[in-house]
Structure 1
Amino acid sequence: MNRIVRKHFPVDKLPEELREGLPEGVEVTVTLETELETQADFDKDRFQDDLDRVRATLKQTVSLEEATHRIRDLRDEWDD
C-alpha cells in the first residue's frame, strides 16, 4: 500500500471540501493512501500464495540441535 504523510500542512491550502469544519490558520497532518482494490499491480492470487507460503514456513520447527548444526555449518563455510 502506498502512503504519503504531510505533517504541519496549512488548512488554507486544502481543497474546500477538505477544509469544511476545520478552523482557518491551523496546520493539520494529511495522510493519503491508495486503496488496494484500485492498484493495477495488486494480484490477489499471488498475494494469497505468498501469504500461504509464509504461514507454512512459520509452522516449521527446528530442534535446538538441528539449528546449532546448521549455524556451525554456515560458520565453517567461511573458515575454508
Structure 2
Amino acid sequence: MNKIVRQRYPVEKLPADLRDGLPAGRTVTVTVEESEPPSKEKLLHLLEEARKADPIPDDPVERIRALRDEDD
C-alpha cells in the first residue's frame, strides 16, 4: 500500500472541496493513502449476499418470464 505525506502544503493548492473551512494563507499536512482493493474472497462473499437478496433464476427463459410477468 502506498502512502504520500506532504507537510507544510499551502491551503490554496488544495482542491476546493478540501479547502472548505480552512483559512487562506495557512499550511497543512496532507496524507494520501492508497486503499487496498477488496480480496477475491470478499468480492465473492458480496456477490453471494447480493444473490441471496435478489435471486436470479438459473434458467434464462425463466428469468425473462419473471421479468415480463413483473408488470402484471
TM-score scaled by length of structure 1: 0.46
TM-score scaled by length of structure 2: 0.51
- The aligned residue for residue 36 of structure 2 is 36
Percent of counterpart pairs with the same letter?
54
Work out the number of aligned pairs and report it: 41
- The aligned residue for residue 23 of structure 2 is 23
The unaligned stretches of length 5 or more in structure 2 are: 42-72
CA RMSD of aligned residues (A): 1.9
Structure 1 moving runs of 4+ over 6 Å: none
Give the structure with the higher percent helix. Answer: 1
CA displacement, residues 17-76 of structure 1 (integer Å, 9 cap, x when unaligned): 0000101110000000000017xxxx678xxxxxxxxxxxxxxxxxxxxxxxxxxxxxxx
Amino acid paired to 1:17: D
- The aligned residue for residue 3 of structure 1 is 3
The unaligned stretches of length 5 or more in structure 1 are: 46-80
